[in-house]
Amino acid sequence: MSQSDRSTPDEVLVRRVLAGDTEAFAPIVERYHSAMLAASMQMIGDTELAHDCAQEAFIEGFRSLSNLRDHSSLRSWLFGILRNRCRKALSRRRLRTLPLEDETDIPADSHDERDAPDRQRLMDLLSELPDSYREVLAARYLADMEYEEIAEALGTSVNNVRVRCCRARERLRAILDRRGIGREGLLGDA
């Protein structure tokens, strides 16, 4: 991705794709690939299937980009597509989420390497939560989405997302307390 593509807002890239410049979708994929893959891993728990779901979400996003009403909400729109893809994959294959300690190729994302142990610990702990809690925390902490973006992606209210995040963090705290693990730095806005 060129330096100009890195700084190009989503809205501009979307307009370029819709105008026929299909190559303008590549920076979108590069921009959101790590976050989408991390979120997919949390929802699916299977590396290969998570990769497939993330790839399918980008393909569906590309094909249906003309349906995106607000070009500035591309990120949450893509996350919504990913969420639906993951749910379909899970229902088709009736998979149970696998413990993440078996997975070795989880993307490092663009976060600082010093955050990696906390992110890995968070991913391990998220696998113990129900799907509805796991998806909001994965979106919030692994995809770095704001409450408004998550609400849009999930088709619910911002208040509902805040409540689910709060309840999920409470459950996570209980798991941490049960295991005797310190909470420092694990959930930044907890």
Tens of pLDDT along 52-78?
A: 999 999 999 999 999 998 888 899 999
> What confidence score (pLDDT) does residue 68 get?
92
The answer to whether residue 89 is domain-embedded is yes
> What confidence score (pLDDT) does residue 99 get?
39
The answer to whether residue 187 is domain-embedded is no
The answer to whether residue 188 is domain-embedded is no
Q: Supply the CATH number for residue 51's domain.
A: 1.10.1740.10
3-state secondary structure the chain: CCHHHHHCCHHHHHHHHHCCCHHHHHHHHHHHHHHHHHHHHHHHCCHHHHHHHHHHHHHHHHHCHHHCCCHHHHHHHHHHHHHHHHHHHHHHHCCCCCCHHHCCCCCCCCCCHHHHHHHHHHHHHHCCCCHHHHHHHHHHHHCCCCHHHHHHHHCCCHHHHHHHHHHHHHHHHHHHHHHCCCCCCCCCCC
The answer to whether residue 186 is domain-embedded is no
Distance CA 82, CA 17 (A): 20
> What confidence score (pLDDT) does residue 28 get?
95
Give yes or no for a contact between 40 and 86, defined as CB atoms under 8 angstroms apart.
yes
The answer to whether residue 190 is domain-embedded is no
Range of the domain at 133: 3-103+111-179
47, 53, 56, 60 alpha-carbon torsion, rounded to 10°: -160
Average pLDDT of 104-115? 41
The answer to whether residue 47 is domain-embedded is yes
Is pLDDT of 96 > 50?
no
The answer to whether residue 121 is domain-embedded is yes
Tens of pLDDT along 25-45?
A: 999 999 999 999 999 988 888
Tell me the pLDDT band of 112, cut-offs 50, 70 and 90: very low
Tens of pLDDT along 143-184?
A: 888 898 888 888 889 999 999 988 988 888 888 888 777 665
Q: Whole-prediction pTM value?
A: 0.60
> What confidence score (pLDDT) does residue 179 get?
77
> What confidence score (pLDDT) does residue 107 get?
41
Distance CA 108, CA 111 (A): 7
Average model confidence (pLDDT) across the chain = 79
> What confidence score (pLDDT) does residue 142 get?
77
Number of domains, the chain: 1
The answer to whether residue 189 is domain-embedded is no
Average pLDDT of 92-105? 42
Q: How far is CA 174 from the centre of its chain?
A: 23
